[in-house]
Amino acid sequence: MFKNIVLLLLIFGFCNFADAQTTSTALKEETNIYERVYDAPLQVVGQESATFDELYAQRPVILALIFTRCTGICNPFLVKLKESLQFKDGDDSFRVMVLSFDPRDNLSDMHRLAQNLGLEENEQWAFAITDSISELTQSVGFDPVWDSARRQFDHDALLVGINREGYITKKLIGLRERGDLDLLTGSINNVFVPTYRLQNQNMLFSCFNYDPVTGKNKPGLGLIFLALPAVLTASLLISISILVRRSRR
Amino acid sequence: MESIKLKKITSVWIIAVLTLFVASIVLGILMRLNQGGVLHQAPITFYSNMTIHGITMIGIWFVAGMAGINYLMERYVKTSYTANLIALILTVSGVLMLWAVTLIGKFHTAWTFLYPLPLRVMWAQWATPTFLVAMSILATGWLIWGISMMTQVLKVYSIPQVFAWQHFKKDPAVKTPPFILISMITLVGVVTCLLVAVLLMALYFAEYFSKGNFVNDALLMKNLTYFFGHTIANEMLYLGLAVIYELFSEVGGKPKWKTTWYVALAWNFTLIFILTAFFHHLYMDFVQPEGFQIAGQIASYLASLPAAAVTVFSVWVAVYRVKIKWTLTNLLFFVGVAGWVIGGFGAVIDATISNNIVLHNTQWVPAHFHTYNILGNVLFSLGFFYWFSIQFTDKRVSEKLSRLILSLLIIGGAGFLLAFYIGGADSIPRRFSNYPAEFTTARPLANIGAVFATVYLIPILILFYNISKRCLKILFSSS
Ligand code: HEM
């Protein structure tokens, strides 16, 4: 009975700790995967207004979320994206949709951005705004924070891959190379993409440690964990057998 | 001889298991009706029900097997009542928490709670830590119980004797009863997989409270999860088989089965290979090295086929052209062995890499594991429950009622399973709360499954009433 009471107290303790949990940063790219993107009405530079589902139904979309008054990551992010996607020039299996998440931006701001990037005439790229931005950002798990002192948004450089059915199949955060973008375009075209989270300093017990230089796996500490329970049971068996030897005689 | 306290606590286990079994079957039927489009549960309700159905079923048939071997073990060694009681208290606490977590907290990771699902809180905030605590409580209670039984056996038999190694030589001086051999081999597996569970929970807790400063390796977590889950789901079958080796011939009025060199060899194979067979759950994980995948396939064969062969052989020799006394107990055992073998065959097909590519995560999976459970292990334990309940009374289930019970179990069970098998062969995915129109056969099959599951429920209710009534009498009797 006493044990049960202690256990119940423990449970209450744990329940109070419950909100200590936050989603690990390493999992940020995994949020909202296989969820549907919000079907926002879009105004696209040089095109007629359309809803998001009309656009992704034509071709899968890589969504890049930026704002034109951005003094931080947005410009390098788009320049890098343009550069990394050069190997896909003329490929019509996807469209890059550059969408402003800042309600202050209008179509001419986006037009200017397209011109500055030299992408105004590029069929693969579209620049757009929407009046339903908060629903859309929420649906893709993008959470910009307004910094009133700097009059800037604090935000991730996020690319969201959306397939023809409107499902988010993959997300990439940061300035990414051609290899990653290849996986992204594959995934929005429903090609299976084998990916695995690389170990980082917070991951102490991985089964294998991948060396990006040699491309080889080395056995890691995690493998010991796999063998440990059997070793413990065997030791337990032998220890018990020795301890109770006397009663056997 | 079995003490009064042991009889009473075994009665409590039996009543608890049967009550939870009926409740979980009802959840199962609701799931099938939902998949069939007759019911329209919210997906979260479906998945919460699926989670608690799976965990409860695994949990209750595991403790049923443990209670069974604990009761019969008293014939050979003195077992610990305290360990049994601790296990009961911790099991009741854990189960109550798990039902609250899923039905109130809406925790719905499926019973396999694959990493990182429990940490992606999509339910009440308290549900994840409570789930982890509940699992830790269950693992602790069962570990204490398992280690205690292991200790008691080792007080009488040495390590070579418990594993019957002396039977590899001619005319061994000490003869290991098959019941002791199989119980011990199973307990070793049980203790190992429960230690895995403790380790797994520790890793979950570490990540949960570290606020991102500690993250787990998904491959390690998946390996550990199936090391625990697959192993416990298999070991519970072997607990049932230990009971059969002890009671089958006795109930039929024949001499007890003996351990021979091939029985010893087959079960020693199980001891070793059952601990690596779980690798077959990771065939689709491209980061798992190929060697592990091949080991998984080989271990799956070696863990199951030899033990199945000697058991079928033993049962066959015991009944073929032999006049034995058939009662509901050994009939349930007999049908159970057939169900176990058929389900095991389905499992071996799925554990073969070239087939798994097609069958993975289709309804073939619930088809085979439900076969060796509802028409296998459940019948082993029901046979034991019935045998136990009539030990202390003159009244038996009439022959007519026995026949009805068996017929309904077989018809209901076979129909329910066939709907899963056909679905699996038709590539219908498992774990869908609703099926899109593209899967044309999925809905009718689900509804057929629900009807047959209801037929299966009828004899279970009869047995529930019949056995629980007697167990309650044992519980409240003074001698
Ligand atoms: C007539 C009785 C039963 C019915 C109607 C039933 C029904 C179901 C259904 C509909 C599912 C979901 C299938 C899917 O993946 O689409 C399921 C899953 C499952 N069942 Fe049963 N079942 C029964 C008996 C049992 C028994 C006896 C056991 C174990 C001893 C069991 C263990 C499980 C497990 C482990 C799962 C997987 C849950 C998960 O995926 O998380 N069931 N059952």
Give the sign of the dihedral formed by CA B434, CA B437, CA B440, CA B443: positive
Beta bridge partners, A167, equal A36
Q: Do residues A132 and A231 both lie within one domain?
A: no
Q: Across residues B421-440, what is the average pLDDT? A: 95
Q: Is B295 on the interface with A (CB under 8 A)?
A: no
| Predicted confidence (pLDDT) at residue B111 exceeds the cutoff of 70 | yes
Boundary residue ending a domain (A162, A188, A214): A188
User: What pLDDT was estimated at residue A21?
Assistant: 38
- 8 A C-beta contact, residue A41 and residue A49: yes
Do residue A222 and residue B287 have CB atoms under 8 angstroms apart?
Answer: no
Mean pLDDT is lowest, of A6-15, B185-194, B310-319, B334-343, for A6-15
Report if residue A194 sits inside a domain. Answer: no
User: What pLDDT was estimated at residue A196?
Assistant: 79
**Count of domains for chain A:** 2
Boundary residue ending a domain (A160, A188, A216): A188
Q: Across residues B14-30, what is the average pLDDT? A: 98
Q: Across residues A200-204, what is the average pLDDT? A: 83
Please write the tens of the pLDDT for every residue from A66-107.
999 999 999 999 999 999 898 888 888 999 999 999 999 999
Residues 182-221 of chain B whose Cβ lies under 8 A from any Cβ of chain A: 188, 191-193, 195-196, 199, 203, 207-220
User: What pLDDT was estimated at residue A4?
Assistant: 53
Tokens for B432?
């869908």
User: What pLDDT was estimated at residue A177?
Assistant: 86
Q: Across residues A40-66, what is the average pLDDT? A: 95
Is residue B111 in contact with ligand 1, taking CB distance under 6 Å?
yes
- 8 A C-beta contact, residue B158 and residue A241: yes
Confidence of residue B478 (pLDDT cuts 50, 70, 90): confident
User: What pLDDT was estimated at residue A30?
Assistant: 83
| Predicted confidence (pLDDT) at residue B457 exceeds the cutoff of 90 | yes
Confidence of residue B214 (pLDDT cuts 50, 70, 90): very high
Q: Across residues B241-267, what is the average pLDDT? A: 94
Chain A residue closest to B285 (CA)?
A194
Q: Do residues A178 and A206 both lie within one domain?
A: no
Q: Do residues A22 and A121 both lie within one domain?
A: no
Is residue B278 in contact with ligand 1, taking CB distance under 6 Å?
no
User: What pLDDT was estimated at residue A29?
Assistant: 86
Average pLDDT, chain B: 95
Is residue B117 in contact with ligand 1, taking CB distance under 6 Å?
no
Shortest Cα distance from B153 to chain A (angstroms)? 9
Q: Is B299 on the interface with A (CB under 8 A)?
A: no
Mean pLDDT is lowest, of A90-94, B30-34, B196-200, for A90-94
Is residue B25 in contact with ligand 1, taking CB distance under 6 Å?
yes
Chain A residue closest to B96 (CA)?
A8
Shortest Cα distance from B459 to chain A (angstroms)? 35
Boundary residue ending a domain (A168, A188, A208): A188
Domain span at residue A13 reads 1-30+199-249
Chain B residue closest to A198 (CA)?
B217
First to last CA, chain B: 14
Write the Ramachandran bin of B435: left for phi over 0, alpha for psi from -120 to 50, otherwise beta.
beta
Report if residue A38 sits inside a domain. Answer: yes
User: What pLDDT was estimated at residue B209?
Assistant: 94
Is residue B95 in contact with ligand 1, taking CB distance under 6 Å?
no
| Predicted confidence (pLDDT) at residue B394 exceeds the cutoff of 80 | no
Output phi, psi for A166, to 5 deg: 90, 10
User: What pLDDT was estimated at residue A14?
Assistant: 43
Q: Across residues B151-177, what is the average pLDDT? A: 95
Q: Do residues A142 and A21 both lie within one domain?
A: no
Please write the tens of the pLDDT for every residue from B63-88.
999 999 999 999 999 999 999 999 99
User: What pLDDT was estimated at residue B2?
Assistant: 64
Q: Do residues A94 and A73 both lie within one domain?
A: yes
Shortest Cα distance from A15 to chain B (angstroms)? 5
Q: Do residues A24 and A51 both lie within one domain?
A: no
Do residue B133 and residue A200 have CB atoms under 8 angstroms apart?
Answer: no
How many angstroms separate the alpha carbon of residue B110 from the centre of ligand 1? Answer: 11
Atom 2 of ligand 1 has which residue's CA nearest to it? B25
CATH 1.20.210.10 fits B4-475, yes or no: yes
Q: How do the domains of chain B map onto residue ranges?
A: 4-475
- 8 A C-beta contact, residue B383 and residue B332: yes
Please write the tens of the pLDDT for every residue from A132-168.
999 999 999 999 999 999 999 999 999 999 999 999 9
User: What pLDDT was estimated at residue A249?
Assistant: 64
Q: Do residues A248 and A132 both lie within one domain?
A: no
Confidence of residue A20 (pLDDT cuts 50, 70, 90): very low
CATH code at position A172: 3.40.30.10
| Predicted confidence (pLDDT) at residue B126 exceeds the cutoff of 90 | yes
Q: Across residues B149-162, what is the average pLDDT? A: 96
Q: Do residues A224 and A123 both lie within one domain?
A: no
- Give the rounded distance of the alpha carbon of B30 from its chain centre: 21
- 8 A C-beta contact, residue B365 and residue B358: no
| Residues near B325 by beta carbon (within 8 Å), at least 6 away in sequence | B251, B252, B253
Is residue B62 in contact with ligand 1, taking CB distance under 6 Å?
no
More confident residue, A242 or B303: A242
Q: Do residues A18 and A101 both lie within one domain?
A: no
Q: Do residues A41 and A157 both lie within one domain?
A: yes
